[in-house]
């Protein structure tokens, strides 16, 4: 599943892959690290393993492949319906190709099912439920932080928090 700020988490683990933070609050990272964000039926498991071996970190939405590497994978989840719906809508907005494949409501339902089943299968998880209100959110990452990483995270959170507040107001009605 995509949409849970995986590119942000990837960049915080390896700033060398960071390219930009857009005005809309989307992190752009090196495209070479996005190969497994798509359904890659053209790649064998061995191809995917070789791809992973070439990079210190990747952003991956191939759950079954990630499960093969469950001890090294950080599974991103969200146990807050308010926040997960926001992140799903955000992802849906950033990926127009998805809109041709499914509705936003169905994408949210698919995420909810994924979130109930998959994260417990991984050794390490990161729950995004408090990304907007936990001042110590970065402490949840097993990463040495520096000023550059902290500044990126705060800029990302500041931009995305504005649309999250609007989402929350609508959601609470």
pLDDT confidence band for 91 (50 / 70 / 90) = confident
> What is the per-residue pLDDT across 94-134, written as a single tens digit (0 to 9) for each?
888 888 999 999 999 999 999 999 999 999 999 999 999 99
How many structural domains does the chain have?
1
Is it the case that residue 1 has pLDDT exceeding 70?
Answer: no
For residues 27-43, average pLDDT: 88
Taking phi over 0 as left and psi of -120 to 50 as alpha, with beta for the rest, 135 belongs to alpha
Find, among 88, 87, 77, the residue nearest to 120 by Cα: 77
pLDDT confidence band for 173 (50 / 70 / 90) = confident
Is 1 domain-assigned?
no
Give the per-residue pLDDT at 2. 57
How far apart (Å, rounded) are the C-alpha atoms in residues 159 and 88? 17
Is 120 domain-assigned?
yes
- Higher pLDDT, residue 38 or 80: 80
What's the CA dihedral at 161, 72, 36, 62 to 10 degrees? Answer: -90
Is 124 domain-assigned?
yes
Query: 164 is in which domain, residue-wise?
Result: 6-171
For residues 76-104, average pLDDT: 91
Tokens representing 63 are 């759950």
């Amino acid at each position: 599943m995509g949409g849970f700020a995986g590119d942000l988490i990837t960049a915080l683990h390896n700033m060398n892959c960071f390219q930009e933070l857009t005005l809309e609050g989307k992190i752009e990272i090196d495209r070479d690290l996005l190969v497994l964000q798509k359904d890659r039926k053209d790649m064998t498991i061995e191809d995917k393993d070789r791809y992973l071996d070439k990079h210190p970190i990747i952003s991956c939405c191939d759950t079954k492949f990630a499960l093969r590497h469950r001890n090294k994978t950080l599974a991103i989840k969200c146990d807050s319906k308010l926040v997960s719906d926001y992140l799903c809508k955000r992802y849906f907005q950033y990926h127009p190709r998805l809109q041709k494949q499914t509705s936003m409501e169905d994408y949210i339902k698919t995420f909810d099912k994924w979130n109930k089943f998959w994260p417990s299968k991984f050794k390490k998880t990161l729950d995004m439920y408090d990304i907007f209100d936990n001042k110590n959110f970065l402490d949840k990452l097993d990463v040495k932080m520096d000023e550059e990483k902290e500044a990126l995270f705060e800029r990302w959170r500041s931009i995305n928090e504005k649309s999250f507040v609007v989402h929350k107001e609508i959601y609470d009605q």
